[in-house]
């Protein structure tokens, strides 16, 4: 009789920041193995539901396209010689040019344990702040705004708030496609929905009200709302007086935004704007739910703060069904924030001040802790181009596709003396620039934790044997650390040991002034870690079973304990439309694809697309340019070009286009939308502007 075994593991989806629980069943029969996935009914993010991407996870597994062995300058090598080469090159570069001549570029796809040791090595022992992450491109403006207003990168809300709320205002979010399970939860709860987005989308179709505002006018809209709340006396005066500061200064600027002026700036009718303002003013239980449409802007931090101001003015924070709720794009963008994955942060939400630098150094027993923030993503790749960064290790991400001015980033990497790329995939635009390629494990093989958009830490569990020579990212980082002479401080045998240290650091000399605190998990046993149930931080002595909502007692992490209003002077996108570049290009995700399609592109039922990106264009514009559906188009910006097929759609307003972000040069020539984006970034967060790009169009 044939031997048959089935094994079920609970893990977490590796795609979006909803962080759904997945149940994976591996069936082994004879020499073969099949995997089936379904939603984990016990997981509080999704209660058994999965979207189309999560449902297709099993189809994305397997060895096809995987990087299976280290490759140095195109030739296969064993791990020992590959790591020896890497360590020698890093050590020599640091010795000759100093610690700031090297850098790590990380990813929201990494697990918290991977992220933690990468930061510890670079910021603690190499002594440079040059660790940044692709999360810089998706939510760093949300981080900067929370820190300005609340004193910490602390998301106040939880997913249940989306169901308890009577009104959810989705700003710059096509959640029906990008965060589908959360959108389903809103719909199932019959929550009233307002969508603020220049384009019609699957989300706006389901909304009670859609404000198709002029691209980039969000801060004007929320300043107008703040002024309306003042004029109609819909403020929570007691909350403002007792728990906030800076209201008078903020209102001095917002007062300028009359209904007529705001409507004109937003390009919508006064009546429609009034409808939204009244709805917001009247509905106590309101959540503002915002994402890349707000963040990917040269004034993204101010836009975030303009939204938060309206919640502070009405006291709608720290209460069920109310709050400003920024939603992350990636599965572990939040985990990266916790360990200091952003170049301007230290681990455990600590900052680059003398006290925190000293504290981290003592905890790590490190005497070369970086003394200043490192370079943020755009500056980091510019430093590569200028030859200031001479060795870079890129982990689990594809910046030659995703960074603005992508062609320039690729050519900078080609010139860099040492580019190391660790990835599960063999052929990506970035891998083509690498001197050294290191095979890493991926979803189903990795073991550790991730944190979703509601601060919930969940386990990713391994249920498959890594193929070929693939190794875990944390193991590769610790190997490099040991070869650089820091083996004692990176002597981990299992990710639980890293997690314990991360948890202990979060509570180390934390008198309550640091929001991120999971110290109650600092002595977790291997068995408890294996069985860890999803839990929302803080998890500490005061809240040993986790914390649903923050700020319920209206105490904030600022020096005064009060939340801060931020005076916001709305700014238009850095580049304007002109006679030469007369159209606005917006960009974003498709429902069925993820990032650069290295995984979702493997699933047959997700691959229902053409080999080229489709560029959405309004029917009137299509007529004007003599373009038919499916025709090949070329877009040019002051920075670069991309090509795609026309998709004529009334979802686009006249003068505005939309293109998906997923295509790379590996998939099709001139198909990267990021090639059109320039270096404009938000001054507070360093997040690049991707959403409002001036372009010209011509048929091919
Ligand atoms: Fe995965 Fe996001 Fe879909 Fe959930 S909503 S199954 S986390 S892609």
C-alpha to C-alpha distance for 113 and 117, rounded to whole angstroms: 7
Mutate which of 20, 24, 43, 454 for ligand 1? The one with the most ligand atoms within 8 Å of its CB, which is 20
Distances 299 to 338, 568, 574, 690 between C-alpha atoms, Å: 24, 10, 9, 12
For the Cβ of 49 lying below 6 angstroms from any atom of ligand 1, the answer is: no
Q: Return the ∠ at Cα 105 (arms to 104 and 111), rounded to 5°.
A: 100
pLDDT of residue 697: 96
386 Cα–ligand 1 center, Å = 39
Cα(644) to centroid(ligand 1), Å: 27
Query: 400: CA distance to ligand 1 center in Å?
Result: 25
User: Going by CA atoms, what residue is nearest to atom 2 of ligand 1?
Assistant: 16
ipTM exceeds 0.90:
yes
Asked if residues 392 and 416 have their Cβ atoms less than 8 Å apart, the reply is yes
**Count of CB atoms situated within 10 Å of the CB of 444:** 24
Give residue 1's pLDDT band: very low, low, confident or very high (50, 70, 90).
Answer: very low
pLDDT over 60 at 3, yes or no: no
Type and span of the H or E element at 219: helix 218-231
Rounded CA-CA distance 564/312 in Å is 8
Cα of 311 vs centre of ligand 1, distance in Å, is 28
What angle do helix axes 300-313 and 140-150 make, rounded to 10 degrees? 40
CA 212, distance to chain mean position in Å, is 24
Using N-to-C axis directions, what is the helix angle for 270-282 and 259-266, rounded to 10°? 110
Mean pLDDT, residues 115-134 taken together = 97
* Closest residue by Cα to residue 419 from 406, 438, 401: 438
> What does the block give as tokens for 213?
């505002």
Buried b (16+ CB within 10 A) or exposed e, 542-566: ebeebbbbbbeebebbbeeebbbbb
CA-based nearest residue to 425, from 613, 671, 589, 601: 601
Residue 48 Cα to ligand 1 middle (Å): 11
pLDDT at res. 146: 98
Task: Tell me the average pLDDT across 389-408.
Answer: 94
Instruction: Assess whether pLDDT exceeds 60 at residue 485.
Output: yes
Q: What spacing in Å lies between the alpha carbon of 536 and ligand 1's midpoint?
A: 18
pLDDT > 90 fraction of the chain, expressed in percent and rounded:
86
In 8-48, which ranges are continuous DSSP H helix? none
Distance CA 280, CA 229 (A): 9
Structure tokens at 450: 């991730």
Model's pTM, two decimal places? 0.95
- Dist. CA 106 → ligand 1 center (Å): 21
Closest by CA position to 330, among listed 104, 589, 17, 560: 17
Q: Is the CB of 18 under 6 A from ligand 1?
A: yes
Which residue's entry shows tokens 């903020």?
250
CA distance 521 to 526: 11
Closest CA to 69 of 473, 434, 467: 467
Tokens encoding 343: 């170049």
Q: Pick the closest to residue 671 from 406, 301, 335, 493 (CA basis).
A: 406
CB of residue 20 inside a 6 A radius of ligand 1: yes
DSSP H helices, 386-446, are 399-402, 406-415
| Ligand 1 close to Cβ of residue 56 (< 6 A) | no
- Amino acid 602: pLDDT: 77
Q: Which atom of ligand 1 is nearest to the CA of 18?
A: 7
Residue 608, pLDDT > 70, answer no
Ligand 1 in contact with 54 (CB < 6 A)?
A: yes
Distance 50 CA to ligand 1 centre (A): 6
Q: Is the CB of 15 under 6 A from ligand 1?
A: yes
Find, among 590, 179, 201, 129, the residue nearest to 383 by Cα: 129
* pLDDT tens digits, 439-465: 999 999 999 999 999 999 999 999 999
Looking at residue 403, what DSSP letter applies?
S
Any atom of ligand 1 within 6 Å of the Cβ of 137: no
Query: Which of 19, 53, 203 has most ligand 1 atoms within 8 Å of its beta carbon, as the pocket-test mutant?
Result: 53
Where are the alpha helices (H) located in 283-326, listed in sequence order? 292-295, 300-313
Considering the chain, what is the average pLDDT of its residues? 94
Q: What is the pLDDT of residues 315-354, one digit of tens each?
A: 999 999 999 999 988 888 788 889 989 999 999 999 999 9
Task: Give residue 2's pLDDT.
Answer: 45
Integer Rg of the chain from CA: 24
Query: In this structure, what DSSP letter does residue 264 have?
Result: H
Tens-digit pLDDT profile for residues 532-564:
999 999 999 999 999 999 999 999 999 999 999
Which atom belonging to ligand 1 lies closest to the Cα atom of 49?
Answer: 6
Ligand 1 contacts CB of residue 53 (under 6 A): yes
Which of helix, strand or coil describes residue 133?
strand
Ligand 1 atom closest to residue 12's alpha carbon, by position in its atom list: 7
Burial annotation 307-344 (CB, 10 A radius, 16+ → b, else e)? bbbbbbbbbbbbbbbbbbbbbbbbbbbbbbbbbbbbbb
- Range 192-218 average pLDDT: 96
- First-to-final CA distance of the chain: 62
Q: Which of 11, 18, 183 to mutate to test the pocket of ligand 1 (most atoms within 8 A of CB)?
A: 18
Q: Which two tokens stand for residue 325?
A: 């709720």
Q: Is it the case that residue 403 has pLDDT exceeding 80? A: yes
The domains found in the chain, sorted by start residue, are 71-133+343-494 (3.40.50.740), 140-327 (3.40.228.10), 583-699 (2.40.40.20)
pLDDT at 610 over 90: no
Q: What is the pLDDT of residue 575?
A: 86
The DSSP call for residue 151 is S
Ligand 1 pocket, 19 CB below 6 A?
A: yes
What is the predicted pLDDT for the residue at 668? 79
Report pLDDT digits (tens) over 23-50. 999 988 777 789 999 999 999 999 999 9
Q: Is the distance from the beta carbon of residue 16 to the nearest atom of ligand 1 less than 6 Å?
A: yes
For ligand 1, atom 4, name the residue with the nearest CA: 20
Residue 181, ligand 1, Cβ within 6 A: yes
Q: Which atom of ligand 1 is nearest to the CA of 16?
A: 2
Q: What is the SS3 assignment for 560-579?
A: CCCEECCCCCCCCCCCCCCC
pLDDT digits (tens, 9 = 90+) for 220-252: 999 999 999 999 999 999 999 999 999 999 999
3-state secondary structure of 73: coil
Beta strands across the sheet bearing 102-106 = 75-76, 71-72, 436-439, 418-423, 391-395, 102-106, 131-133
Closest ligand 1 atom to residue 39 Cα is 6
Q: What is the reported pLDDT for 483? A: 98
Residue 466 DSSP symbol: P
At residue 432's C-alpha, the angle toward residues 428 and 437, to 5°, is 90
The token pair at 536 is 């929302």
**In this model, does residue 365 exceed pLDDT 90?**
yes
Please identify, by atom number, the ligand 1 atom nearest to the C-alpha of residue 452. Answer: 7
């Amino acid at each position: 009789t044939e031997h048959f075994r089935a094994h079920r593991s609970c893990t977490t989806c590796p795609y979006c920041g909803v962080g759904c629980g997945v149940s994976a069943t591996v069936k082994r029969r004879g020499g073969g193995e099949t995997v089936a996935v379904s939603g984990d009914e016990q997981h509080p993010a999704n209660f058994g539901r999965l979207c189309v991407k999560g449902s297709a996870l099993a189809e994305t597994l397997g060895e096809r396209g995987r990087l299976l062995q280290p490759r140095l300058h195109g030739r296969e090598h064993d791990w020992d010689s590959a790591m020896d080469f890497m360590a020698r090159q890093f050590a020599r570069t640091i010795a000759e040019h100093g610690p700031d001549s090297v850098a790590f570029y990380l990813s929201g796809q990494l697990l918290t344990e991977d992220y933690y040791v990468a930061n510890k090595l670079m910021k603690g022992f190499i002594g440079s702040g040059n660790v940044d992450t692709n999360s810089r491109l998706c939510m760093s403006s949300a981080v900067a705004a929370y820190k300005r207003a609340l004193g910490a990168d602390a998301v106040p809300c939880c997913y249940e708030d989306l169901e308890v709320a009577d009104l959810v205002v989705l700003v710059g979010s096509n959640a029906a496609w990008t965060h589908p399970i959360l959108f389903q939860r809103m719909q199932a709860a019959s929550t009233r929905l307002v969508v603020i987005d220049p384009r019609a989308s699957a989300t706006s179709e389901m909304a009670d009200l859609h404000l198709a505002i002029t691209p980039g006018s969000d801060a004007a809209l929320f300043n107008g709302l703040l002024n309306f709340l003042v004029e109609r006396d819909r403020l929570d005066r007691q909350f403002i007086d007792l728990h906030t500061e800076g209201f008078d200064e903020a209102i001095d600027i917002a007062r300028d935004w009359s209904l007529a002026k705001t409507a004109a700036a937003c390009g919508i009718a006064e009546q429609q704007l009034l409808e939204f303002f009244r709805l917001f003013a009247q509905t106590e239980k309101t959540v503002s739910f915002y994402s890349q449409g707000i963040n990917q802007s040269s004034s993204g931090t101010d836009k975030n703060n303009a939204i938060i101001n309206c919640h502070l003015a009405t006291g709608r924070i720290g209460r069920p069904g109310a709050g400003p709720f920024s939603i992350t794009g990636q599965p572990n963008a939040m985990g990266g924030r916790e360990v200091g994955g952003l170049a301007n942060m230290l681990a455990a939400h600590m900052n680059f001040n003398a006290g925190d630098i000293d504290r981290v150094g003592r905890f790590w027993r490190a005497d070369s802790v970086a003394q200043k923030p490192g370079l943020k993503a755009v500056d980091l790749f510019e430093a590569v181009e200028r030859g200031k960064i001479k060795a870079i290790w890129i982990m689990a991400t594809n910046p030659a596709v995703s960074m603005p001015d992508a062609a320039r980033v690729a050519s900078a990497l080609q010139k860099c003396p040492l580019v190391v790329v660790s990835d599960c995939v063999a052929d990506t635009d970035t891998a083509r620039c690498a001197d050294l390629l290191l095979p890493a494990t991926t979803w189903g093989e990795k073991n550790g934790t991730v944190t979703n958009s509601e601060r919930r830490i969940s386990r990713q569990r391994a249920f498959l044997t890594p193929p070929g020579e693939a190794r875990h990212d944390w193991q590769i980082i610790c190997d490099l650390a040991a070869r650089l002479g820091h083996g004692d401080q990176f002597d981990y045998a299992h990710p639980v040991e890293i997690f314990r240290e991360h948890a202990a650091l979060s509570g180390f000399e934390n008198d309550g002034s640091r929001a991120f605190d999971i110290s109650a998990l600092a002595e977790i046993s291997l068995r408890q870690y294996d069985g860890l149930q999803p839990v929302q931080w803080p998890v500490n002595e005061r809240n040993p079973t986790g914390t649903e909502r923050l700020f319920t007692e209206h105490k904030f992490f600022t020096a005064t304990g009060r939340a801060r209003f931020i005076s916001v002077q709305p700014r238009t996108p850095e580049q304007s439309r002109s006679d030469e570049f007369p159209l606005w290009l917006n960009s974003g995700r498709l429902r069925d694809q993820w990032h650069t399609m290295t995984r979702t592109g493997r699933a047959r039922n997700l691959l229902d697309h053409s080999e080229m990106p489709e560029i959405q264009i309004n029917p009137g514009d299509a007529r004007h340019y003599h373009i038919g559906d499916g025709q090949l188009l070329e877009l040019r910006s002051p920075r670069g070009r991309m090509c795609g097929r026309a998709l004529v759609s009334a979802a686009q307003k006249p003068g505005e286009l939309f293109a998906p972000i997923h295509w790379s040069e590996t998939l099709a020539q001139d198909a990267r939308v990021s090639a059109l984006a320039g270096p404009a970034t938000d001054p507070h967060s360093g997040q690049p502007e991707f959403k409002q790009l001036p372009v010209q169009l011509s048929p091919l």
